[in-house]
Chain A
């Protein structure tokens, strides 16, 4: 009989080791899954994890890595602050959409004016505001009416998707687009384009923002009293109140930051890689970022690494789709599996496994 025994102090070694062990376990289980789907498991794993960085077409994929990792890291950093405080914003996908809509609307309003120094910063601000406001809905409902923020933030994703569809077909539709759904291409409008900063690297302003967010979050959590309060609120809510933390203000703050960062990610995406507001603009970054946040142990540096890894699975997944005919949804299942393995191995951080001994009643 295997028993769990609580460790007096959480194991630091395991805290770092579990994500790695989880990734390895997911590779094994994923290999079996792909094998069951009729692909060669080794080839599939190699295509997903190795080829995008070192393979024949790496020059293309490497750039894609940062393009995909940028929004994931940016969103996950915001979410991690809330998750640490026990505030569960799981509607980042909706905030991401609203940031994109707000930002794009500002950009399109100025079309075809040429004033990048004014228009692009205004779009960035609008993106932040869009995500922030959308996240404030669950925030205010939670603090004013005690409404569960998990459910509200999530339900608002579906509302945001409908607004996105409405915008793409109605108010923001490209007047010169021959009736096709979708807005003008912001990437081709010099004043609004979020261009690659270094050719071939995939580095755009959103990636820069993600790196800055990582640094800020690191300093906040390790050095600032607000970071201590956030951790306190999550680990021991009563102790946090004893320490003078105002729980309502913290809810608004955490939701606000995560909404603003998700909105920012949406703006950079719509002005850059995606280019336009369209019905299928959102591809689930807001949800994958939840996995990134956990895989990174809610730690800024961990999130940076996890974001890159998760971006790799996206790109590798696309590659495997092209070369092995692996279905797109396989990667989604694969990412879900990764989260499961991480949560499962996490038990080792706080508990020791004992074999034999007393059976529990």
Chain B
């Protein structure tokens, strides 16, 4: 065993990188769930985002365009979910599952001829000399642009929910769609917007995986990250700051177990590989065992269909 090869500074920098896809997807789902919609299709939207972004980045040579395409691709997926659950009032759980199964199939289909290709490199941002500063430099001033975007999004979503009228309406719709409707707010428009935003975020997360972290395309490469994003929203009790905490916790476990694998520790590789999932389950159990606290912040209309009867 050689723990000496694990460098804490690089570990933290790697952790931020590894957490970003889940953070993005979880932030999107946070908004969706705050509007009272449960979209279990995060995994499907992420993987469609991963391949859409990959294809466009490879074809155009521009990772930036790739991210745009990823957001669009995943938003289209999200809108399928929106039409089914909001207009046709289908069961949200079933539809979300369908979206994941469909996304996995469609992405594999789209990506057939892209297996084994390397995408154009997405450079890290550097800030003059700051990136060279020991410890702080690699962590804070030498990351990919999307890492900063995801962090900015945490702040923006917190501010949006807490301080803006539109955020208030979103929370109101999620809390009681009947009351919001009675006051004249459009439940449908609010929810569609939230669902689309959730899709775009999941798509960006997927593309970050295929363009930056891995970076290449393999079938099913999201490997449950969409589901972990869903778990993190519950863990965070629907609060943006705690989504950040949850995502980085998961990222930390992932990076640590990879480092332990590399260090050749005498635990079967498979046990290390399953540890992020086990720890996610453990954290979920801890957070939901306090029934009243867990429920207090959950949007009261979560997962219920809305049909204006009169």
Contacts and interface: CB of A to CB of B under 8 A. Distances in A.
- Contact present between A and B (CB < 8 A): yes
A50 interface: no
A166 B227 contact: no
A335 B105 contact: yes
A243 interface: no
B253 to A, nearest CB: 13
Nearest to A138: B281
Given A158-B274, A159-B277, A346-B90, A147 B268 contact: no
A246 interface: no
A291 interface: yes
Contacts of A157: 224
B273 interface: yes
A333 B277 contact: no
Contacts of A88: 93
Interface in A334-352: 334-337, 339-340, 343-344, 346-347, 350-351
Contact of A343 (B94, B101, B223, B278): B94
Contacts of B230: 151
B181 A361 contact: yes
Interface string A290-302: 1100100000000
Nearest to A329: B108
A190 interface: no
A4 interface: yes
B227 A151 contact: yes
Contact of B101 (A141, A145, A154, A290): A290
Given A147-B289, A151-B230, A333-B109, A290 B281 contact: no
Nearest to B295: A146
Nearest to B184: A361
Taking residues whose C-beta sits less than 8 angstroms from the other chain, chain B's interface range is: 35 or more
Contacts of B181: 361
B268 A170 contact: yes
Interface in B140-181: 181
Nearest to B291: A146
B125 interface: no
Given A333-B102, A336-B101, A146 B112 contact: no
B106 interface: yes
Given A155-B228, A159-B274, A336-B103, A327 B112 contact: yes
Contact of B280 (A146, A155, A337): A155
B285 A147 contact: yes
A334 B288 contact: no
Which has the most chain A C-beta neighbours within 10 Å: B95, B184, B231, B277?
B277
Contact of A337 (B102, B227, B307): B102
A209 interface: no
A111 interface: no
B98 A361 contact: no
Contacts of B11: none
B113 to A, nearest CB: 10
Contacts of A361: 181, 184, 186, 308
A155 B281 contact: yes
B7 interface: no
Contacts of B88: 343-344, 346-347
B250 to A, nearest CB: 11
Contact of B98 (A170, A334, A336): A336
Contacts of A335: 101, 105
B91 interface: yes
Nearest to A152: B281
A339 B270 contact: no
Contact of A339 (B101, B228, B271, B309): B101
A144 B308 CA distance: 37
A155 B90 contact: no
A147 B288 contact: yes
Interface string B89-120: 11101110111011111111100100000000
B58 interface: no
Nearest to B88: A347
Nearest to B274: A162
Contacts of A154: 224, 227
A314 B224 CA distance: 24
Given A4-B307, A162-B274, A340 B105 contact: no
B294 A158 contact: no
Contacts of A151: 227, 230-231, 234, 281, 284
A159 B288 contact: no
Given A330-B109, A339-B98, A339-B102, A152 B284 contact: yes
B231 A166 contact: no
A71 B134 CA distance: 57
A146 B231 CA distance: 13
Contacts of B274: 158-159, 162-163
Interface of A: 4, 6, 37, 83, 88, 90, 141, 144-148, 150-152, 154-159, 162-163, 165-166, 169-170, 287-288, 290-291, 294, 327-337, 339-340, 343-344, 346-347, 350-351, 360-361
9 tightest Cβ-Cβ pairs between the two chains A and B: A336-B102, A332-B105, A329-B108, A333-B105, A166-B270, A343-B90, A339-B98, A162-B274, A145-B289
7 contacts: A147-B281, A151-B234, A329-B219, A336-B105, A343-B84, A344-B84, A351-B307
Given A83-B94, A147-B285, A343-B84, 11 more contacts: A144-B289, A150-B40, A154-B227, A155-B228, A162-B273, A330-B105, A332-B105, A340-B84, A343-B94, A344-B90, A361-B186
